[in-house]
Amino acid sequence: MLFFHSIAILFVLFHKSLGEVRTSFKILNYTGSGCPEGTISSSINLDTTALAQSFDRFPLYLGPGTIIRDHYKNCTLYANISFSEPNWQLYVNPRSMDVRGYFPMDVGTSLRVQSKYDWAGSNKMATNTFTVQGPLRDTFIRYHVDNATDNVVVSPCGGGILRTRYDAAATTTTSHPGGFDPDDPEPGIEFWTFLTSLQLSRCPT
Ligand SMILES: *[C@@H]1O[C@H](CO)[C@@H](O)[C@H](O)[C@H]1NC(C)=O
Ligand SMILES: *[C@@H]1O[C@H](CO)[C@@H](O)[C@H](O)[C@H]1NC(C)=O
Ligand SMILES: *[C@@H]1O[C@H](CO)[C@@H](O)[C@H](O)[C@H]1NC(C)=O
Ligand SMILES: *[C@@H]1O[C@H](CO)[C@@H](O)[C@H](O)[C@H]1NC(C)=O
């Protein structure tokens, strides 16, 4: 009897370590030139291995009639993250991120994209940076954008407030950049998605 009871307890413990821990994720607020009200979606997947943050568009423009402000867009999001079980914590960016974006551009034009993560109360920050070179017909996809080793930030035990910052800057070396036609994109193609890796872990004892 006791034997089976112990087995049952072991099973419960084992099971919990395999994914019974549920992560609660709530966006507190977001601001920035890249994310007008009502244009983002944000979620964590069921097994807490990825954070997906999508923008309807990152409205960058380059070329005739544009001003400096059009060449750079950003967004900062705050989220409250907690767990259904005590003594867990969350690593952000342990396996870097994947990104999908939209920005048609000519030869000589390039786009620098960056994400930054930090937890409230900590001064450690993880950063991913990459550059896309034109020409680009419409969309780009980057997998495992690797910036540096140890490019990871961990939450306090029990969770915390995660700040995520994204930005994109377009630059050109040609005097007449073109190729971008903001009046005529295919419907549903303009979105940007940042998929950042996560890792749930027991707090150190
Ligand atoms: C967003 O939420 C964070 C965390 O609660 C807070 O520090 C920050 O002031 C808020 N920002 C805005 C613009 O409300
Ligand atoms: C976006 O960038 C502008 C210009 O650098 C900066 O002043 C602003 O604080 C940034 N906003 C966010 C939400 O990151
Ligand atoms: C974050 O979530 C926790 C757990 O639900 C809650 O106790 C705390 O007040 C929340 N913090 C903020 C700033 O919303
Ligand atoms: C990593 O990010 C830092 C900070 O943004 C940047 O200065 C550095 O050039 C990046 N390294 C690589 C290899 O992209």
pLDDT beyond 60 at 9: no
Residue 54 Cβ < 6 Å to ligand 3: no
| Cβ neighbours, 10 Å, residue 1 | 5
Residue 111's pLDDT is 94
Contact 118, 90 (CB under 8 A): no
Average per-residue pLDDT for the chain: 86
In this prediction, residues 191-198 reach a mean pLDDT of 96
Residue 182's pLDDT is 53
What total of structural domains would you count in the chain? 1
Instruction: Name the closest-CA residue to atom 3, ligand 3.
Output: 82
| Amino acid of residue 63 | G
Helix (H, G, I), strand (E, B) or coil at 78: strand
pLDDT beyond 90 at 1: no
Q: What angle do CA 144, 75, 130 make, to 5 degrees?
A: 30
Contact 131, 168 (CB under 8 A): no
Residue 183's pLDDT is 59
Ligand nearest to the CA of 169: 2
What is the Å distance from ligand 1's center to 165 Cα? 13
pLDDT beyond 50 at 10: no
Q: Regarding predicted confidence, which is higher, 171 or 75? A: 75
What string of DSSP letters covers 90-143?
Answer: EEEEEEEEEEEEE--B-TTEEEEEEEEEEETT----EEEEEEEESPBSSEEEEE
What is the Å distance from ligand 4's center to 147 Cα? 6
Residue 8's pLDDT is 41
Name the one residue in this structure whose structure tokens are 């395999």: 18
Residue 61's pLDDT is 80
* pLDDT confidence band for 68 (50 / 70 / 90): confident
Q: Regarding predicted confidence, which is higher, 134 or 5? A: 134
Q: Where are the alpha helices (DSSP H) in the chain?
A: 2-15
pTM above 0.75, yes or no: yes
Whole-angstrom Cα distance, residue 68 to residue 185? 22
Residue range 97-144, pLDDT digits in tens: 999 999 988 888 899 999 999 999 999 999 999 999 999 988 999 999
CA distances for 17 relative to 20, 103, 179, angstroms: 7, 42, 51
Residue 11's pLDDT is 42
Residue 147 Cβ < 6 Å to ligand 4: yes
Domain that residue 196 falls in: 2-202
Torsion sign over Cα 20, 125, 38, 192: negative
Residue range 20-53, pLDDT digits in tens: 899 999 999 999 999 999 999 999 999 999 999 9
User: In sequence order, what are the beta bridge partners of 11?
Assistant: none
